[in-house]
């Protein structure tokens, strides 16, 4: 089983498929969240109500993973060393709590367009950090070119979708950038912890600890009664929880067995797939020429980074 798992998460073809799958799952969260907010009538509510909804989502996702672990390996598998609990609590505070707290509060003070672009800063932070931390994950001309194509795609897909100005607010745009910083720290932390811990254990516990913290902070400024679920919104919550459990499980597994900078480039697919899936599932949304061009640029960036080592650098004179 371990050999099969190792092959799946290192084979050059399955790595591409699983990376894209994880990002499409995350992309499907955009229309799912929009529909959920509309049904629950919280789309125009404050950040703390949305944080409360997020706490339900990630707590349910952690329960899904705990059940999976118990069915696969037994309940004893959940018992860890005391020091492991500390690490997973810290990771949960970074990955689930801080990242989403910064995002929801930052989003309330900036435009959706700027947030969509700035949140991709985490991709750059991760690739740059990997360059200095891992000797086999250096930033080169090929990787930089792929990154620039990716961010160009994200910018293009957001043109004409709202206000894009150059105003910088520390608690707005600054918080969105901090979302990227938290994401980078979490990925590097997971890479370190996965040397001695099972990925599913890491994912389940960090989501649980992070969601509990989100819940406690959210209810200090809001009320549980604000969100009243019905059958449709309840189903969407379950799906959103599944997205988190499956996507993070896949992503962390890929991070464990591959170069961090190599896997990170695929995250440009998230906002692009979110636009396409929104067009499919939300009547008022549509696919524009910008979205098609953005998808082409992101795809090209990924293809370039996956080219044989040295192929493009020769063409670029590097």
Q: Say how far apart CA 146 and CA 140 lie, in whole Å.
A: 10
Which tens digit of pLDDT belongs to each residue from 39-75? 998 877 888 898 999 999 999 999 999 999 999 888 8
**Exposure on the CB side of residue 83, measured as CA atoms within 13 A:** 3
- Alpha-carbon distances, residue 286 vs 267, 283, 314 (angstroms): 22, 8, 40
Which helix (H) or strand (E) covers residue 251, if one does? Answer: helix 231-257
Q: How far apart are CA 58 and CA 215, in angstroms?
A: 10
Tokens of 258: 């591959």
pLDDT band at residue 123 under the 50/70/90 scheme: confident
Rg value, the chain, Cα: 19
Confidence bin at 97 (pLDDT 50/70/90): very high
| Residue 130 near residue 190 (C-beta atoms within 8 A) | no
The first and second tokens of residue 235, run together, are: 């189903």
- pTM: predicted TM-score of the whole model, two decimal places: 0.83
Place of tokens 């913290």: 213
Q: Which range has the worst mean pLDDT, 26-35, 139-148, 150-159, 262-271?
A: 150-159
Give percent above pLDDT 70 in the chain: 86
pLDDT confidence tier of residue 165, bands split at 50, 70 and 90: low
Contact 39, 230 (CB under 8 A): yes
pLDDT score for 1: 44
Query: In this model, does residue 96 exceed pLDDT 60?
Result: yes
Query: Does residue 116 carry a pLDDT above 70?
Result: no
Measured on CA atoms in the order 298, 300, 306, 312, is the torsion positive or negative? negative
* Tens-digit pLDDT profile for residues 234-293: 999 999 999 999 999 999 999 999 988 888 888 888 878 887 888 787 777 666 787 778
Which tokens in the block code for residue 26? 């995350």
Confidence (pLDDT) at 310 = 58
Distance CA 43, CA 33 (A): 9
Is there a contact between 82 and 44 (Cβ–Cβ < 8 Å)?
no
Least confidently predicted of 183-192, 262-271, 298-307: 298-307
pLDDT for res 126: 86
Lowest mean pLDDT among 78-82, 99-103, 151-155, 262-266: 151-155
CB atoms within 10 A of CB 128: 14
The pLDDT > 90 percentage for the chain reads 34
Q: Please enumerate in sequence order all residues whose Cβ is within 8 A of that of 21, keeping only pairs 6 or more positions apart, or say none.
A: 250
pLDDT confidence tier of residue 111, bands split at 50, 70 and 90: low
Q: What are the residue boundaries of the structural domains of the chain, listed by start?
A: 6-315
| 228 backbone dihedrals φ, ψ, rounded to 5° | -115, 110
- The reported pLDDT for the residue numbered 249 is 92
Is 70 exceeded by the pLDDT of residue 316?
no
Per-residue pLDDT at 155 exceeds 60: yes
**Cα dihedral angle (60, 106, 102, 214), rounded to 10 degrees?**
-40
Alpha carbons 147 and 124: distance in angstroms, whole number: 7
- Left, alpha or beta for 162 (phi > 0: left; psi -120 to 50: alpha)? left
Q: What is the mean pLDDT of the chain?
A: 83
């Amino acid at each position: 089983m371990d050999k099969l798992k190792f092959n799946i998460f290192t084979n050059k073809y399955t790595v591409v498929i699983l990376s894209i799958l994880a990002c499409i799952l995350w992309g499907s969260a955009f229309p799912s969240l929009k529909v959920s907010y509309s049904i629950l009538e919280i789309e125009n509510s404050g950040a703390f109500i949305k944080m409360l909804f997020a706490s339900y989502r990630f707590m349910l996702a952690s329960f899904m993973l705990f059940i999976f672990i118990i069915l696969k390996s037994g309940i004893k598998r959940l018992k860890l060393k005391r020091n492991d609990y500390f690490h997973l609590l810290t990771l949960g505070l970074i990955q689930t709590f801080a990242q989403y707290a910064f995002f929801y509060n930052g989003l309330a003070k900036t435009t959706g367009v700027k947030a969509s672009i700035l949140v991709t800063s985490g991709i750059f932070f991760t690739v740059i950090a990997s360059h200095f931390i891992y000797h086999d994950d250096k930033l080169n001309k090929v990787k930089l070119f792929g990154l620039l194509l990716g961010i160009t795609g994200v910018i293009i897909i957001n043109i004409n979708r709202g206000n894009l100005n150059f105003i910088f607010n520390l608690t707005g745009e600054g918080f969105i950038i901090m979302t990227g910083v938290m994401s980078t720290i979490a990925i590097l932390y997971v890479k370190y912890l996965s040397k001695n811990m099972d990925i599913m254990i890491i994912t389940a516990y960090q989501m649980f600890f992070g969601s509990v913290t989100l819940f406690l902070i959210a209810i200090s400024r809001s009320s549980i009664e604000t969100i009243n679920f019905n059958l449709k919104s309840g189903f969407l919550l379950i799906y959103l929880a599944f997205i988190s459990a499956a996507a993070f499980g896949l992503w962390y597994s890929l991070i464990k067995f591959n170069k961090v900078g190599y896997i990170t480039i695929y995250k440009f697919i998230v906002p692009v797939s979110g636009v396409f899936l929104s067009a499919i599932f939300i009547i008022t949304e549509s696919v524009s020429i910008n979205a098609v061009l953005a998808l082409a640029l992101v795809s090209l960036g990924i293809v370039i980074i996956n080219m044989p080592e040295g192929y493009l650098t020769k063409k670029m004179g590097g």
